[in-house]
Amino acid sequence: MEFLHESIALGVDLLILGLCVKEYVSYKKNVNCLKAAPQLAIDSDLKKYVGAQKDKKIPYAVVRGTVTPIGVPMRSVMSPSVTGVLQIIKLSEHRVTRGFAGFWTEQRKLIHVSSNEMPFELRNNESGVEIIDALSAAVLDLDVVYDNYEPSSLSFFDHVFGFFSGVRQKGLQTTEEVLRDGSFITAIGELELDGKTLRLQPSPVGPLFLTTATKSTLIKKFEEAKSSMLVKIFVCGTISAILIGYIVRKLYNKKKQERDERKIKETLEKERRERRARTRPLNLTTEQLCVVCTTNPKEVIILPCGHVCICEDCSEKIRVTCPVCRGKIATKAAAFIA
Ligand SMILES: [Zn+2]
Ligand SMILES: [Zn+2]
Q: Give pLDDT tens digits for 78-104.
A: 888 999 999 999 999 998 888 777 777
Which ligand has its closest atom nearest to the C-alpha of 299? 1
Beta strands 104-117 and 184-194 are unpaired
Nearest to 140 by CA among 66, 86, 83: 86
Q: What does the pLDDT look like over 19-38, one tens digit per residue?
A: 999 999 999 999 999 999 99
Which ligand has its closest atom nearest to the C-alpha of 295? 1
On whether both 274 and 295 belong to a single domain, the answer is: no
On whether both 183 and 243 belong to a single domain, the answer is: no
- Specify which residues 246 forms β-bridges with: none
On whether both 251 and 330 belong to a single domain, the answer is: no
Distance between Cα 315 and ligand 1 center (Å): 7
**pLDDT higher for 254 or 337?**
254
Distance between Cα 304 and ligand 2 center (Å): 8
Which ligand has its closest atom nearest to the C-alpha of 284? 1
What's the average model confidence in pLDDT over 224-237? 94
- Cα distance between the two ends of the chain: 52
Distance between Cα 333 and ligand 2 center (Å): 13
The whole-chain average pLDDT of the chain stands at: 90
Which ligand has its closest atom nearest to the C-alpha of 328? 2
Rounded CA gap, 173 and 188, in Å?
A: 32
Percent of the chain past pLDDT 70, that is, above it, reads 99
Distance between Cα 118 and ligand 2 center (Å): 96
What's the average model confidence in pLDDT over 109-114? 92
Q: Most distant CA pair in the chain: distance in Å?
A: 124
Q: What does the pLDDT look like over 59-71, one tens digit per residue?
A: 999 999 999 999 8
Q: What does the pLDDT look like over 319-331, one tens digit per residue?
A: 899 999 999 999 9
Number of domains composing the chain:
3
Q: Which of 236, 263, 279 corresponds to the end of one domain?
A: 279
On whether both 194 and 99 belong to a single domain, the answer is: yes
Spatial CB neighbours of 140, under 8 Å, sequence gap ≥ 6: 86, 134, 179, 210, 211
Determine the pLDDT at residue 278.
84
Rounded CA gap, 204 and 253, in Å?
A: 53
Which ligand has its closest atom nearest to the C-alpha of 317? 1
Determine the pLDDT at residue 283.
80
On whether both 244 and 317 belong to a single domain, the answer is: no
Rounded CA gap, 103 and 108, in Å?
A: 16
What's the average model confidence in pLDDT over 223-233? 94
Q: Which of 165, 188, 213 corresponds to the end of one domain?
A: 213
Query: Does 202 have pLDDT greater than 90?
Result: yes
Evaluate whether residue 219 is within a structural domain. no
On whether both 123 and 249 belong to a single domain, the answer is: no
Distances (CA, A) of 123 to 57, 69, 77: 19, 10, 25
Determine the pLDDT at residue 246.
92
Q: What does the pLDDT look like over 162-193, one tens digit per residue?
A: 778 788 888 899 999 999 999 999 999 999 99
On whether both 301 and 202 belong to a single domain, the answer is: no
Which ligand has its closest atom nearest to the C-alpha of 321? 2
Q: Which of 162, 190, 213 corresponds to the end of one domain?
A: 213
pLDDT band, residue 152 (cuts 50/70/90): confident
Rounded CA gap, 128 and 122, in Å?
A: 5
Rounded CA gap, 91 and 141, in Å?
A: 19
Percent of the chain past pLDDT 90, that is, above it, reads 61
Distance between Cα 272 and ligand 2 center (Å): 26
Rounded CA gap, 86 and 117, in Å?
A: 4
The amino acid at residue 98 is R
Determine the pLDDT at residue 1.
64
Query: Does 3 have pLDDT greater than 90?
Result: no
Distance between Cα 335 and ligand 1 center (Å): 14
Instruction: Supply the CATH number for residue 321's domain.
Output: 3.30.40.10
Determine the pLDDT at residue 153.
81
**pLDDT higher for 209 or 162?**
209
Spatial CB neighbours of 94, under 8 Å, sequence gap ≥ 6: 106, 107, 108, 149, 169, 170, 171, 172, 173
224 three-state secondary structure: helix
Domain span holding position 148: 37-213
Rounded CA gap, 120 and 180, in Å?
A: 11
pLDDT band, residue 227 (cuts 50/70/90): very high
